[in-house]
Structure 1
Amino acid sequence: MEIDSPWFVRRRQIAPSMRLFCFPYSGGQAGFYAPWQAALGEEVEVCDIQLPGRGARIRETPLRSLDAVVDAVAPLIAEEDDVPFAVFGHSMGALLAFEVTRRLIHVYDRAPARLFVSGCEAPRLRSPGTMHLLSDAALVDELHRLNGTPQAVLANRELLQLFLPILRADFSIGGTYAYQAPAPLDVPITVLAGTRDPYTPHARVAPWLDESQRVGEVRWFHGDHFFIHSSQADVMACIEAALA
């Protein structure tokens, strides 16, 4: 993998026709999306967004607000103007992908070909979250429920001591997010959701489509909040078809 910016981790493709910027879920780091490169092929260059506090940036202080991430990432993506691009985000990453897309359009006049939002209720329906305020024990219980953190991490006290501050910062990004009603985007939106995701009720998924004036789609996948793991092949097929 190539790291040409602290924020971007990718394997450069020789002549891609599309670049897919991928934002992580809470506690996630660049590397999760790395297998997507082989699945999507050389036509699509997968570029992971690496947030501070993890991976090669482990010594950096994690950011705790969505605006801070958008301020840092949007101008960097705007500079990547050699090929068309799309934006993907799962859970917390969906909010980041949405707000970065808004910033790219309104400030930099750069619109993605498509916005993918995954595992997240529509932003206008969100209420302030409190997970970043939980005790360590209660937070670990929630991680067990989410089913996205390796058991080896949850069972290791030393790893948890490293992981929990990052997770709290990420949950703060989502928990303190304040939606401001914008004009609908001129970008098609593909919404991905898990059929058994307890954090994304079915009725709160489709309203994502109201954020765009273009025709979008909602796609359901078998699985819980981390259906992008359990149904990865189907998710890849969905993304590949939407980018074709």
Structure 2
Amino acid sequence: MTTVSDEGARWFRRYVPEAREAPVRLVCLPHAGGAASYFFPFAQAVGERVDVLAAQYPGRQDRRQEPCIDDIGALADAAFAALRPFLDRPVALFGHSMGATLGFELARRIETVPGATLVRLFASGRRAPSRPGGELVHTFDDDRLLAEVARLSGTDTRVLADDELMRSALPAIRADYKAAESYRLAGEAELGCPITALAGDADPKTSLDDVRAWERHTTAGFDLHVYAGGHFFLAEHRQPIVDLMTERLAAHTARR
């Protein structure tokens, strides 16, 4: 039984309590402006086969009173410290957009822990760390930044229609965009775990070549899966993606 620290409980949400003793954990890392609740449907679809832990970054929802973190390295350090108690069994990482970059940095840290088993990194909707972008969305004024969020269609339309709610989320959105856009890879890092990359064929933010470049960041296996859709293709292909993840993790879930 894992003993979860206060920090671990603050950082990670488990939406299927019955899965806590599953033989492998899947840590899900949201996109810029996202929250742990984005992965609630994924956790429900996976059920008890995998212990899904969804990360809740500071500065949103029940952590709204905490300062936002606008640097990927600092965010990875804080998340890693909170994740340490959960490394008592094999762990995989699933990150979408900014979450994929954060997942890569978390993976680098996990691989330094003696006895920890990192099963796989699922990198979704994000260019490889070796492919820096030139976006400056975090410098946009409030109206233009909110328009960019709406354009990518990753937020519930009911939330988008609530101007007061969206503006209250602006500090977290801006901090996340700054973290993602200012990230630069330090060194030519390769992971010792396999990487599975996922992409939308009409993603306006990430080209297939940029996603394919994740192959350079692993000394183990690599596979790429392309789905119809834009930046948030996950919502349209939830079950196939859940099936893919559980199939890739099957070696560690065979006991269930």
Q: Which TM-score tier does this pair reach, normalised by the shorter chain?
A: over 0.9
Aligned-pair CA distance for 1:111: 4.1
Task: Specify the alignment match of 1:205 in structure 2.
Answer: 211
Aligned to 1:91: 97
Q: Does 1:189 align with 2:195?
A: yes
SS at match of 1:33: helix
**Residue of structure 2 equivalent to 1:150:** 156
User: In the superposition, relative to structure 1, how do residues 156 and 43 fare at CA in structure 2: closer, same or farther (>3 Å)?
Assistant: closer
Displacement, 1:26?
Answer: 0.8
Q: How does 1:32-71 map to 2 (within 5 A)?
A: 32-71=38-77
1:73 aligned residue: 79
Partner in structure 1 of residue 136 of structure 2? 130
Structure 1: tracts of 5 or more residues without a match: none
Normalising by structure 1, report the TM-score: 0.93
The answer to whether the 8 A contact 1:114-1:190 is kept is yes
Distance 1:233 1:37 in 2: 11
**One-letter code of the match for 2:21?**
A
Measure, in 2, the Cα distance between the counterparts of 1:214 and 1:223: 28
* Aligned amino acid, residue 224 of structure 2: V
CA contact (8 A) 1:78 1:108 kept: no
User: Quick one: distance in 2 between partners of 1:143 and 1:77?
Assistant: 29
Distance 2:207 2:189 in 1: 25
Equivalent residue pairs, number: 243
Larger RCO (alpha carbons 8 Å, 6+ apart): 2
User: Which of 16, 32, 37 is matched with 1:26 structurally?
Assistant: 32
Distance 1:42 1:221 in 2: 26
Q: Would you say the 8 A contact 1:188–1:215 is kept in 2? A: yes
d(CA) in 2 for partners of 1:14, 1:161: 36
Q: CA-to-partner distance for each residue in 1:81-120, whole Å, 9 max, x for gaps?
A: 3321101100000000000101111366634101100000
Q: Structure 1 runs of 4+ off > 6 angstroms?
A: none
- Per the alignment, in what secondary structure is the counterpart of residue 217 of structure 1? strand
- 2:106 counterpart of 1:100: yes
What is the alpha-carbon distance in structure 2 between the residues aligned to residue 36 and residue 127 of structure 1? 29
Name the counterpart of 2:116. Answer: 110
Structure 2 regions of 5+ residues with no counterpart? 251-256
> Could you say which residue in structure 1 is the equivalent of 2:12?
8
Is the 1:188–1:212 contact (alpha carbons within 8 Å) kept by the matching residues of 2? yes
Q: Matches of 2:44 and 2:172 in 1, distance apart?
A: 29
CA contact (8 A) 1:15 1:43 kept: no
In 2: Cα distance, 1:76 partner to 1:57 partner: 15
* 1:174 matched residue in structure 2: 180
Higher mean displacement: 162-171 or 71-80: 71-80
Residues 82/181 of structure 1: CA separation in 2 closer, same or farther (3 Å cut) = same
- Superposed displacement of residue 162, structure 1: 0.5
- The two structures, once aligned, show a CA RMSD in angstroms of 1.8
User: C-alpha separation between the residues in 1 aligned to 2:178 and 2:20?
Assistant: 38
Report whether the alignment pairs 1:162 with 2:171. no
**Structure 2 length as normaliser, TM-score?**
0.89
